[in-house]
Amino acid sequence: MRTYLVTGGAGFIGSNYIHYMFRKYGDEIKIINVDKLTYAGNLENLKDIEGRDNYRFVRADICDSEAISKIFEEEDIQRVVHFAAESHVDRSIKNPEVFVKTNVLGTLVMLNAAKAAWEQPDGSFLPDHKFLHVSTDEVYGSLPEDGGYFYETTPYDPHSPYSASKASSDFLVKAYMDTYHFPANITNCSNNYGPYQFPEKLIPLMINNALQGKSLPVYGDGKNVRDWLFVEDHCKGIDMVQEKGRLFETYNIGGHNERQNIQIIHTILDTLQDMLPEDDPRLAHINEDLITYVTDRKGHDRRYAIAPDKIKEEIGWYPETCFEEGIKKTIEWYFDHADWMQNVTSGDYLKYYEDMYANR
């Protein structure tokens, strides 16, 4: 039985990945999920799998080298999939320090612990032991509106404290591969959307606000472009890279689905209008009048777009879910999980929302 150490498995992509892996491999694998449970980590995301014999949750900070090394001593870890990070650009603009701690130092701790567990006396590594570092296309910077794509060879040019911290963590993984021949891969993906995404990010924030009749805050002119990837397609890509990809390589994972933010908001409004029953009272307020242009994000990258050619040619992965289908599945999930949204948007979230949007 192969054992996985997943970091950040209580967050958005990590919890989708754990669900995907148990759906795919069932009892053939064991997963150890290490998560600090910051505001973004939520064990409710995993409640249907918490009773499995082949699943274990450990609450720990990835910066805590003792706690992480202990897991490698207790378990025969063959795969690391490293998601844990501070992940929201707006928060990084307000408070960069924690991004450097978790994203840079935390990644270093994970690399050191895996290296210590897997390295042989002759400097080689145990066969079939692999580390996958999950990163972002934001490390490549911003593209012009009228063309171009991010490739694996695109030079790094991060702008926000978030993307700078992710770029630094990627460089550490690259350094371990180059210096020690440490068995790793890096994936850089575009903007994910889907179930369990925390409503500080564009799509769940707009769905939640529209349902509640709150304004929909559009940064700047609303014409910034992101390349949206359905989270399940991403999870499948991560597994395929780890099992079929060439070690030491970087693979970009993108949705081939570029949209302006304002187009996303219109699609959400239209889809909500189509999906809600005719007599739902919320239909009275779900319309364009909710759209409110607000002060732009500082240093706002104009356009991201990935050409996922390498992963398609070498591994056969491609984004299977078109946006219209993915957004319907996502909205349906939020309809069915109103209590989840209620839980994560009470308490601290209200204060966050006030701080971030009050005087914008």
Does the annotation mark 90 as catalytic? no
Alpha-helical regions (H) of the chain: 12-25, 65-74, 89-94, 97-99, 106-118, 161-180, 202-212, 231-244, 261-275, 309-315, 323-336, 338-344, 348-357
The strand pairing partners of 251, in sequence order, are 187
Stretch that binds ligand TYD, among 21-29, 36-44, 93-101, 215-223 (CB under 6 A): 215-223
Give the integer Cα–Cα distance in Å for 200 and 297: 14
Residue nearest to ligand NAD (CB): 11
57 or 125, CB closer to ligand NAD?
57
Q: Are 66 and 58 in contact (CB under 8 A)?
A: no
**Minimum distance between the CB of residue 341 and ligand TYD, rounded to whole angstroms?**
15
Q: Are 299 and 93 in contact (CB under 8 A)?
A: yes
Size of the site for ligand TYD (CB under 6 A): 12
Tell me, residue by residue from 75 to 104, as one string, x for binding to ligand TYD by CB under 6 A and - for no binding: --------------x---------------
40 or 114, CB closer to ligand NAD?
40
15 or 191, CB closer to ligand TYD?
191
Can you tell me which of 78, 102, 209, 321 binds ligand NAD, judged by CB under 6 A? 102
Does the annotation mark 137 as catalytic? yes
Residue 202 binds ligand TYD (CB under 6 A): yes
Residue 142 binds ligand TYD (CB under 6 A): no
Does the annotation mark 221 as catalytic? no
**Minimum distance between the CB of residue 198 and ligand TYD, rounded to whole angstroms?**
10
Tell me which residue of 118, 155, 124 sits closest to 140, measured CA to CA: 155
Pairing of strands 250-253, 184-189: parallel
Can you tell me which of 41, 161, 195, 199 binds ligand NAD, judged by CB under 6 A? 41
For residue 341, CA distances in Å to 117, 214, 216, 237, 336 come to: 39, 15, 17, 27, 10
Tokens of 126: 């145990």
Task: Kindly identify the residues of this chain, within the stretch 2-21, that bind ligand NAD according to CB under 6 A.
Answer: 7-8, 10-14
**Minimum distance between the CB of residue 289 and ligand NAD, rounded to whole angstroms?**
28
Query: What HEC string does 272-293 produce?
Result: HHHHCCCCCHHHHCCCHHHEEE
Tokens of 212: 């509640």
**Minimum distance between the CB of residue 296 and ligand TYD, rounded to whole angstroms?**
9
Stretch that binds ligand NAD, among 20-28, 85-93, 207-215, 290-298 (CB under 6 A): 85-93
User: What is the b/e burial string over 112-147, where b = at least 16 CB atoms within 10 angstroms of the residue's CB?
Assistant: ebbbebbbeeeeebeeebbbbbbbbbbbbbbbeeee
The angle, 0 to 180 degrees and rounded to 10, between the axes of the packed helices 323-336 and 261-275 is 60
Task: Kindly identify the residues of this chain, within the stretch 268-327, that bind ligand TYD according to CB under 6 A.
Answer: 297
CA 258 to chain centre: 17
Residue 205 binds ligand TYD (CB under 6 A): yes
Marked catalytic residue, from 20, 140, 162, 196: 162
Which chain residues interact with ligand NAD by CB under 6 A? Answer: 7-8, 10-14, 35-38, 40-41, 61-63, 83-87, 102, 106, 134, 136, 166, 189, 191-192, 198
Which chain residues interact with ligand TYD by CB under 6 A? Answer: 89, 191, 201-202, 205, 217-219, 224, 226, 261, 297
Catalytically active residues are 137-138, 162
